[in-house]
Amino acid sequence: MTAKLQALILAAGKGTRMKSELPKVVHPILGKPMVSYVIEAVKAVGCDKVTLITGYKSELVRDLLTGENVSFVEQPQQLGTGHAVQCFAKEITAMPERLLVVCGDTPLISTDTLREMIEMHDSQKPAITMMTLNMENPGNYGRILRRSNQVCAIREARDCSQEELKVKEVNLAVYLFEGQFLQNNIFKLTAGNQQKEYYLTDLVEMAVEQGLPVISCIEKDESSTLGINSRQHLAEVSAILQKQILDRLMSAGVTITSPHNTFIGPDVSIEPDTVIHPGTMISGRCRIGRDCVIGPNCHISCATIGNGCSLEACIVKNAHVADKSQIEPFSLIEG
């Protein structure tokens, strides 16, 4: 029996602008691969099976994502997003009832908007639901073309006419497909464009030609749509995610005396009334109890710190620190 809602994450590219031998989607953000944030997001909205399309250094990507509980399909040649989904369709025994397709380089993707998108799809039952955004300066984003206010096509910027380039509504490359429509049409895609690639976006025009509805869910937070194509983008997204983590902790009762000089990873939990001083780095899966004073200048990794502890200028790795411990400066504690 196929899963009712599955996710397909496009993660095959090298990311040439990263100037790196490391595949783009496994570049770390706050200590974990950027694609891990996307995996968490699609699982959070109810995708009971997640598949990654890999290409460049596939084995390395698989190794770095060990433990994520995802499946992999290889795209030997990167011939476009449509070709990636074709590779997926060839590997599976049956198309899922609904398939959510997202990009692996968008770690800020909004679970709230994904849920809204799924709800719209379930209530209106179109062939395709897509996520779009109204941008003042659309740049190289694909444009959403409408006829009588209904979505009728997506045009890649490089293929747009001058009039089409004036359109402000853009494609965010997040799609929810009805499985039967996808099965019937994915292998009808052709590479008749400037890039000689198979565009997933061409399925929109196919649906319209078949008299099937295509709808859009409009994202309101532009920052959640940021994709990563360079080291500058990596730094920008890291800063946004770090602020979100620190704000969440402070709202929950943790004092962070210098947020700009503190690094706390996404898998860290800290109890209320703990104080974090500058120069502190807390990464990996960590739990820090109540009424602690951490820092300045502590490095804590994959550790558990009990209640009422005081740590200053020390390193704690893979260890458990008991309640009310006082760790002297320049100590090294390893489990």
Beta strands at 169-178 and 128-134: parallel, antiparallel or unpaired? antiparallel
b (16+ CB within 10 A) / e for 256-289: beebeebbbbbbbebbeebebbeebbbbeebebb
Question: Over the stretch 68-91, which tens digit does the pLDDT of each residue have?
Answer: 999 999 999 989 999 999 999 999
CA angle 61, 66, 72 (to 5 degrees): 55
Structural tokens at position 14: 């090298």
Output the pLDDT for position 159: 86
CA distance 301 to 199: 43
Share of the chain above pLDDT 90, in %: 90
Between CA 230 and CA 228 the distance in angstroms is: 6
Write down the domain spans for the chain: 5-225, 253-334
C-beta separation of 101 from 85 below 8 A: yes
Strands 98-103 vs 169-178: parallel, antiparallel or unpaired: antiparallel
5-225 domain in CATH 3.30.70.120? no
What pLDDT does residue 1 have? 38
In whole angstroms, give the CA distance from residue 1 to residue 27: 35
Q: Which of 106, 114, 98, 99 has its CA nearest to residue 217? A: 114
How high does pLDDT run on average in the chain?
95
* Backbone dihedral angles phi then psi of residue 248, each to the nearest 5 degrees: -60, -45
What's the pLDDT at 320?
A: 97
Closest CA to 274 of 263, 284, 283, 287: 287
Mean pLDDT of the region 296-325: 98
Q: Which one has a higher pLDDT value, 158 or 295?
A: 295
Average pLDDT over residues 200-204: 93
Quickly name the fold that domain 253-334 has: UDP N-Acetylglucosamine Acyltransferase; domain 1 (2.160.10)
pLDDT at residue 262 in the model? 98
Tell me the CA distances in angstroms from 266 to 69, 305, 321, one per residue in order.
Answer: 19, 17, 21
Check whether 222 has a pLDDT greater than 60. yes
CB 78 within 8 Å of CB 195: no
Cα torsion 9, 172, 178, 115 to 10°: value is 80
- Give yes or no for a contact between 200 and 177, defined as CB atoms under 8 angstroms apart: no
What's the distance, CA 283 to chain centroid?
19
Mean pLDDT of 97-123: 97
Cα–Cα distance, 39 to 83 (Å, whole number)? 21
Tokens (6 digits) for 64: 């770095």
Q: Could you please report the per-residue DSSP string of 198-267? A: --TTHHHHHHHHTT--EEEEE---GGGG----SHHHHHHHHHHHHHHHHHHHHHTT-EES-GGGEEE-TT
Residue 116: other Cβ atoms inside 10 A: 17
pLDDT above 90 (res 104): yes
Mean pLDDT of the region 279-305: 98
Distance CA 245, CA 268 (A): 9
**pLDDT at position 3:** 58
**Confidence band, pLDDT 50/70/90 cuts, at residue 35:** very high
Instruction: With a cut of 60, say whether residue 248 has pLDDT above it.
Output: yes
Residues 6+ apart with CB under 8 A from 221: 110, 113
- Written as six digits, the tokens of 8 are 């397909």
Each residue's pLDDT tens digit, 161-182: 999 999 999 999 999 999 999 9
Across the range 239-243, mean pLDDT stands at 96
**Which pair of tokens denotes residue 3?**
């899963």
Q: What percentage of the chain has pLDDT greater than the value 70?
A: 99
pTM of the entire predicted model: 0.93
